[in-house]
With several copies, the nearest count.
Chain A
């Protein structure tokens, strides 16, 4: 295993401490329990947005704590849901009296831990689940689809609405609207190595890739021969459009998301390919984000996300944001 780390057991603590120091103008960090919250929290009478999940997806979620997005983030062990005590401690730091919205990616562990936190929390709270991964066919099982990169979009849009003072129920409804309007799918060219495990989660041949991969180094649905960026973009765009069925000309947000080990050069190239694939369906992105936002450690690969925007969602996307990983208008 080749990583810039010290002892395997200290990876999260040291990384989180570094994050806290680097962004001390924006956030405070507690190492036990592990939480990251806005320096200015709580914001009186604003619904507090709390997300969290296994680590290894950076900048998700800690990198999105700040004005216009999250109030707090709870980082779990690598690829392991955080625990209810973290969520409760976070809620105590940031609940400004208007309640807490938990933003949860749809994995059994995340769902159950947030559920238990919500049951134990004495304040008012509600939750919204993301399950944008169209690679997962829902027919065969009752787990539902995975939540992946659309979580970033949801945190941005719902975060902006919270900032303008929307109440808990409206934010939950908006979150569901964003999630329903979004679809994602990913591809991995390499696996990734969980520090504690010390070896890659899966092996993939030099001429192969994993189509429909998630963000935990878990194998995808299909092992296929390495394909061109155009072929990948067409398959993914096709699968998402089949799910979202946008009308021709509909405004779309496109997120080209790197998995951590793929350089920007390739991400912009994939975005170019995705634009061509969309154009074949008489569609074009009206908002664009390209970069590493919801990663899978050092995995090489990328995912595409499309989100059908309406006017309100567009305005909320454009609203000012100031976090470690996303910043505009401020």
Chain B
């Protein structure tokens, strides 16, 4: 069950990133160095492929092992700033207590919390620094806050949190990452990592909302 969710989530993320190529790519050209889309799609591709392989080989494997393998694969595939950060998310989530068992709502919520904390630990950024964390911290909070909601309502809330977090990066200075070098010139552009994370979160929410009983 968890393995299957992981697999569908990976594919949903992959498809969504690809569908948003122009938006993501353009943002990193504007306030970064133009590679973010290519880094993330490279990661999404190997993650989807690896999830398939793992799912086929051992459909009942403990999902924390799969998460760890995906994390390591992302680490050696993405590169740049997003590689270690996204990888850290998976490596940390794999260690969250219960991640090896069947994933219930509480476990997933804890995994996201731990994953986001790992990104913070690795990149030493905080909310408002104009990074992917501006999308991910509100997502983690929305998951905790919506503990009692039905899946569709929760998905909608999480999606809204991601969207709002992503939008919040638009009109602020960057204090971490490449965009920080631009000073004032970064204002008016959404952070590319915040955008790609929002796209991924939204895709996963839709997967969940469309019938998944988490």
Tell me the bound Cα distance from A53 to B122 in angstroms: 19
State whether A197 touches B25 (Cβ < 8 A).
Answer: yes
Tell me the bound Cα distance from A84 to B29 in angstroms: 25
State whether B35 touches A116 (Cβ < 8 A).
Answer: no
Partner-B contacts on A (CB < 8 A)? 33, 54, 76-86, 107-109, 112-113, 115-116, 136-137, 140-143, 146, 194, 196-197, 199, 201-202, 214, 216-219, 221
Tell me the bound Cα distance from A199 to B38 in angstroms: 13
A-B contact pairs, 16 of them (CB 8 A): A33-B76, A79-B35, A80-B83, A81-B80, A81-B81, A83-B75, A83-B79, A109-B82, A113-B79, A140-B183, A141-B173, A143-B174, A194-B33, A197-B34, A197-B38, A201-B29
Expressed in whole angstroms, the minimum distance between the Cβ of A78 and any Cβ of chain B is 7
Q: Does more than half of chain B's interface fall in helix, strand or loop, or is it mixed?
A: helix
Q: Inside 8 A of B29's CB, which chain A residues have their CB?
A: 197, 199, 201-202
Expressed in whole angstroms, the minimum distance between the Cβ of B107 and any Cβ of chain A is 26
State whether A221 touches B185 (Cβ < 8 A).
Answer: yes
Known contacts A85-B75, A112-B122; A77/B38 CB under 8 A: yes
Q: Inside 8 A of B176's CB, which chain A residues have their CB?
A: 108, 141-143
State whether A218 touches B181 (Cβ < 8 A).
Answer: yes
Instruction: Sort chain B's interface into a size bin.
Output: 35 or more
State whether A79 touches B175 (Cβ < 8 A).
Answer: no
Partner of B79, one of A80, A115, A141: A80
Q: Inside 8 A of B80's CB, which chain A residues have their CB?
A: 54, 76-77, 79-81, 109
Partner-A contacts on B (CB < 8 A)? 25, 29-35, 37-39, 42, 75-85, 122-124, 173-178, 180-183, 185
A214 nearest CB neighbor, chain B only: B181
Expressed in whole angstroms, the minimum distance between the Cβ of B121 and any Cβ of chain A is 11
**A-B contacts besides A54-B35, A79-B34, 17 pairs, CB < 8 Å:** A54-B33, A77-B35, A77-B79, A78-B35, A81-B80, A83-B78, A108-B123, A108-B176, A109-B83, A109-B84, A142-B176, A143-B174, A216-B33, A218-B32, A219-B30, A221-B181, A221-B185
Q: Inside 8 A of A202's CB, which chain B residues have their CB?
A: 29-30
Q: Inside 8 A of A112's CB, which chain B residues have their CB?
A: 81, 83-85, 122-123
B72 nearest CB neighbor, chain A only: A85
Q: Inside 8 A of A136's CB, which chain B residues have their CB?
A: 181
B41 nearest CB neighbor, chain A only: A196
